[in-house]
């Protein structure tokens, strides 16, 4: 596909997204209908679509309209390219610019323009003087992070193995993080990935997992385990502990036994949780506002009502897991959100209702210093309530 044809495809996909289709579904629909497109074409169209969604309102202002066409015109202008050289109408390229499109000039909107307007007050209240810088970072593509499986060997050995398959990395903060600098689309096919030397995991949850207390003999429960990335990270750190995973949607855990075997970890999946644990990890359902670089259409699909429902769910999960924590044990509350309502305020309410818990440590990572936005509150249970 020519560059113009790729832009035309991105316009088609973006129009579907703007009409309400989820981004992944719209891309899959286009891909299935475009068998002529090679893997490089599909990746390029995906990059155009996601790049446009990350800066949706800014590009609409530059391009003259909130349409797929307007976004692609705006993207060309934002990148310093002449859209008339791309919108030629030949070779499956989009139709030439109209006189109005060619003459359009606009001042880029404000620093929070690429976030939903209803969220602006909460964003500023949550991030303070970092609000605009974090919002700007959300307009950029997120880096790809890997976690070296220290149970299989040192980080340097994992990096060397990746390099043999054309995946170049550099070490990040913490003990196990590797940032992919070249060959990110080769990771899944690399021998290092197939042999369990590395797992895909963002930097900030890696750092959060490294902050959790572990010792031989501990019973550790990952309560909202999802695919199991965090419990595998913990198991790699302390093979002398016993690890359990649970999720309200059991199908999310279907691949965990195979992943654990590949990683050399032992994790028991619990359909139903009983008893108490020395460490309970609860990475609760949340707005995902810290991950909006990776799933940029989510920011435009999330509503105030969605956030209200999530706050109720989070509070209920905290109440449920509190009774699972042994005396002297820890509860790790996590979100991939940057919003105080889901983070500090949620913990403050929990502590007011559960005085036997105290904050041991609390941290918010933002994309300015880590990967995704991520919150950790590690609580210590005192007494035997």
Same domain, 63 and 42: yes
Question: Is the residue at 139 inside a domain?
Answer: no
**Residue 90 backbone zone (phi > 0: left; psi -120 to 50: alpha; other: beta):** beta
In degrees and rounded to multiples of 5, residue 182 shows phi and psi of -160, 135
Question: Is the residue at 61 inside a domain?
Answer: yes
Task: Tell me what pLDDT residue 385 has.
Answer: 45
Expressed as residue numbers, the domain containing 53 is 3-109
Tell me if 244 sits within 8 A of 270, measured CB to CB.
yes
115-168 residue pLDDT tens: 999 999 999 999 999 999 999 999 999 999 999 999 999 999 999 999 999 999
Same domain, 244 and 302: yes
Same domain, 94 and 161: no
The pLDDT averaged over each successive group of 10 residues in the chain (385 residues) is: 93 96 94 87 95 96 96 95 94 94 88 96 97 96 95 94 97 95 94 94 96 97 95 94 96 93 93 96 97 94 96 98 97 98 98 96 94 97 71
Specify the CATH number for the domain of residue 194.
3.30.70.1170
C-alpha angle 231/307/348, rounded to 5°?
70
Question: Is the residue at 119 inside a domain?
Answer: no
Question: Is the residue at 136 inside a domain?
Answer: no
Same domain, 68 and 217: no
Q: In what order do the strands lie in the sheet with 357-365?
A: 267-269, 242-245, 219-222, 277-283, 325-335, 374-381, 357-365
Question: Is the residue at 351 inside a domain?
Answer: yes
Same domain, 105 and 161: no
Question: Is the residue at 326 inside a domain?
Answer: yes
Same domain, 61 and 174: no
Tell me how far the alpha carbon of residue 211 is from its chain's centroid.
Answer: 19
243-266 residue pLDDT tens: 999 999 999 999 999 999 999 999
50-68 residue pLDDT tens: 999 999 999 999 999 999 9
Tell me how far the alpha carbon of residue 314 is from its chain's centroid.
Answer: 18
């Amino acid at each position: 596909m020519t560059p113009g044809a790729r832009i035309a495809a991105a316009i088609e996909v973006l129009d579907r997204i703007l009409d309400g289709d989820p981004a992944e579904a719209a891309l899959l629909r286009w891909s299935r209908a475009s068998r002529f497109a090679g893997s490089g074409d599909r990746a390029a169209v995906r990059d155009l679509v996601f790049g446009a969604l990350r800066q949706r309102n800014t590009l609409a202002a530059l391009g003259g309209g909130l349409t797929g066409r307007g976004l692609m015109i705006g993207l060309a202008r934002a990148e310093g390219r002449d859209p008339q050289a791309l919108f030629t109408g030949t070779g499956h390229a989009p139709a030439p610019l109209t006189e109005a499109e060619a003459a359009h000039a606009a001042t880029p909107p404000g620093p929070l323009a690429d976030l939903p307007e209803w969220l602006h007050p909460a964003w500023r209240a949550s991030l303070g003087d970092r609000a605009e810088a974090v919002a700007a970072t959300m307009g950029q593509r997120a880096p790809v992070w890997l976690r070296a499986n220290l149970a299989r060997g040192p980080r340097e050995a994992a990096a060397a193995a990746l390099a043999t398959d054309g995946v170049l990395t550099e070490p990040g903060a913490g003990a196990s993080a590797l940032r992919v600098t070249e060959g990110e689309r080769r990771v899944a096919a690399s021998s290092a990935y197939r042999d369990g030397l590395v797992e895909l995991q963002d930097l900030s949850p890696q750092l959060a997992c490294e902050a959790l207390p572990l010792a031989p003999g501990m019973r550790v429960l990952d309560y909202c385990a999802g695919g199991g990335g965090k419990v595998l990270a913990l198991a790699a750190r302390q093979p002398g502990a016993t690890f359990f995973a649970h999720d309200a949607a059991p199908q999310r855990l279907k691949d965990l036994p195979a992943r654990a075997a590949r990683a050399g970890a032992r994790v028991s999946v619990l359909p139903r949780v009983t008893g108490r644990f020395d460490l309970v990890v609860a990475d609760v359902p949340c707005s995902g506002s810290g991950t909006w670089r990776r799933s940029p259409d989510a920011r435009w699909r999330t509503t105030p009502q969605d956030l209200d429902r999530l706050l109720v769910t989070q509070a209920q999960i905290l109440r449920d897991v509190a009774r699972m924590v042994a005396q002297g044990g820890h509860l790790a509350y996590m979100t991939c959100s940057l919003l105080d309502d889901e983070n500090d305020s949620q913990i403050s309410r929990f502590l007011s209702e559960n005085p036997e818990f105290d904050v041991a440590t609390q941290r918010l990572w933002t994309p300015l210093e880590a990967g995704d936005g991520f919150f950790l509150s590690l609580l210590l249970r005192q007494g035997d309530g």
